[in-house]
Structure 1
Amino acid sequence: MSEGDGVGDSVHGKFFTWLGQIYQSWLDKSTSYTAVWWVVTLGLSCVYMIRVYLLQGWYIVTYTLGIYHLNLFIAFLSPKVDLSLMEVSDDGPLLPTKQNEEFRPFIPRLPEFKFWHKGIFVAMVCTFFEAFNVPRQIKHMIKYWYIPFTHGKRRYKGKEDVGKTFAS
C-alpha cells in the first residue's frame, strides 16, 4: 500500500468526488436564478405536502424536514461574523476607513441558495420507502403483538424442576 491509499483514492471515492464536483459546479452556475429556484422549491414543497397528505403517513420525516428547514433559516438570519467580537467604538461598529474596504453590515452565515437543495429531495425520496413511515410501522407492531423493548415483555417460564437431582 502506498501512503496515498484511502477512501478518496478508491474507484468509488473518485466517482463520488467527481459527482460532487459536478453537483457543486451546477449549483454555482444556478445561483443567479433565484426566482426560478424559489418557484421550484415552493413547487416541490407543495408536491411533497400533497403526497404526504394523500398517503397519510411519513409524519416523522415531515417533522424532521421542518426542523431541518428551521435550522437553515436560523443560520440564514445569523451573521457570518459575530459583531460582538469585532472592534467596537462607543457608537457601534467602525465604518471602513480605506477606499478598497467594503461596508457590509450583514453577511448571512448561510447563503440563500443553500436552502434549495437536499432537504426536500431527501424527504421526498424517504416517502418511497415504507421503513421511514414510523407511525405505520408502530401500528403494524402493535397489531401483531411485536414489542421490541424488554420493558413489559412477557417472559415464559418452564415447569419447575421438582424432581431429584442426580449426582455424577
Structure 2
Amino acid sequence: MNVDIGENGDNVESVPTTTQRNKLARAFQYHLDRSAPHLLRRWLATLGLAMVYTLRVYWVKGFHVVSYGLATYVLNLVMGFLSPKVDPELEGIDGLSSPGRESDEYKPFERRLPEFRLWYSITKAFIVSIIMTFVSVLDVPVFWPILSSYWVFLFVLTMKRQMVHMVKYKYNPFSKGKRRYHGRKTSPGSGGITGNVSTHQD
C-alpha cells in the first residue's frame, strides 16, 4: 500500500484522521448541549457513576489516595458553585456594589461555577477515577482513616469559611429568579383602602 508524502514529509493520511476527530468532537458537543435541559437525568447518571466507583473501590479494597483526590476535587467544585462570580471583598476594594448591599436594581446571584459545568466536571472526575482504579500502580498503600479524618476536617473548615462569607456579604447561592411585586390588594368593605405592597424572591 502506497502512502503519499507531502512536501514537508507529512503523511497525507493524517488529514482524514484530523477530520474524523473533529466530527467526533462536534457530535460529542451536540449531545452534550442536548443534555443541558435534562437536569434530573444528568445528575442521576452521575449518581450512577458515583455508585459504580464506590462499589469498585469497596470490591478491590484500595485506591484510597485516588478517592481522597476525587473527594477533594469535588469539594473544590462545590465551593465554586456556592461562590459568587465576583468576590464581594474585591468589589468592596474597587468601590463597586456587593451582593449584600441594597440597590435600586435587583441583580440575581451569579455563580463562579455554573450548574452545568459543575455537573460536567464531576462526571468527568468520576469517569477518570473509575479508569484509574484499573491501574495497579495508583493503589498506594496508606492508612485510610487518617485520610478520611483529614478530608472531614478540610470539609468542615471550608464550609464554615463559606458560611461566614455568605453571612458577611448577605448573599444566598440557592435563591433564583427575580423579585416579584404583588399589586395592592383591596379587602372587602375597606372602601378602596389598600394594604402594603409585599415583595418576595423566588
Contact preservation (8 Å) 1:87, 1:94: no
Gaps of 5+ in 2: 1-13, 143-202
Give 1:129's aligned amino acid: V
> How far off is 1:108 after superposition?
0.9
Match of 2:128 in 1: 122
Residues 9-32 of structure 1: CA deviation (Å, up to 9, x unaligned): 977666555444433332221111
> How far off is 1:92 after superposition?
1.4
Structure 1 residue aligned with 2:104, among 89, 95, 98? 95
Contact preservation (8 Å) 1:87, 1:93: no
What TM-score, normalized by structure 1, do the two folds share?
A: 0.60
Match of 2:111 in 1: 108
Gaps of 5+ in 1: 1-8, 97-102, 137-168
Give 2:111's aligned amino acid: P
Distance 1:20 1:94, change over 3 A: farther
> How far off is 1:39 after superposition?
1.2
Q: CA RMSD in A?
A: 3.1
Contact preservation (8 Å) 1:86, 1:93: no
- Which structure is richer in relative contact order (CA contacts within 8 A, separation 6 or more)? 1
Residues 140-160 of structure 1: CA deviation (Å, up to 9, x unaligned): xxxxxxxxxxxxxxxxxxxxx
1:68 corresponds to 2:73: yes
Greater C-alpha radius of gyration? 1
Structure-2 separation of matches of 1:123 and 1:71 = 16
1:24 corresponds to 2:29: yes
Give 1:122's aligned amino acid: V
The number of aligned residues is 124
1:41 corresponds to 2:50: no
What TM-score, normalized by structure 2, do the two folds share?
A: 0.51
